[in-house]
């Protein structure tokens, strides 16, 4: 059978702290999603908190499995790296779509910055 591997206490403590920190960021993002009133305000907490939380969980995973296998295990970095690339892009696209929807419904929203129109000149 498999023998249980005894991990150092400092590693268990550090991995636990990183996992708790990641879950705290996820909780903060969920609370921000529920408590904020406007769509544009609701976009930011989950995007920021989930990205930071994913980095914490990935760091905990890398530490734990690197010590367990006694060699660097770095492929877990792919998840937060891809999240760091895709989350801002999707947040921007959601914001632009919501702004376009408000413009077409006739609501008073600011003009596009890159519209190229003269502003009252």
pLDDT tens across 50-101, in order? 889 999 999 999 999 999 888 888 888 998 899 889 988 988 898 889 888 8
Whole-Å CA distances, 16 to 19, 39, 95: 5, 34, 35
Q: What is the reported pTM?
A: 0.76
Q: How far apart are CA 82 and CA 102, in angstroms?
A: 30
Q: How far apart are CA 67 and CA 70, in angstroms?
A: 5
């Amino acid at each position: 059978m498999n023998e249980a591997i005894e991990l150092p206490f400092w590693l268990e403590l550090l991995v636990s702290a990183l996992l708790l920190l990641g879950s705290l960021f996820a909780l903060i993002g969920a609370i921000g999603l529920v408590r904020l009133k406007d769509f544009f305000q609701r976009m930011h907490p989950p995007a920021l908190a989930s990205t930071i939380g994913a980095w914490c969980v990935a760091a905990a995973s890398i530490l734990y499995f690197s010590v367990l296998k006694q060699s660097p295990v770095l492929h877990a970095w792919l998840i937060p790296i891809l999240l760091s690339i895709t989350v801002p892009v999707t947040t921007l696209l959601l914001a632009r779509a919501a702004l376009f929807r408000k413009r077409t419904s006739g609501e008073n929203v600011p003009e596009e910055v890159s519209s190229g129109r003269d502003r009252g000149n």
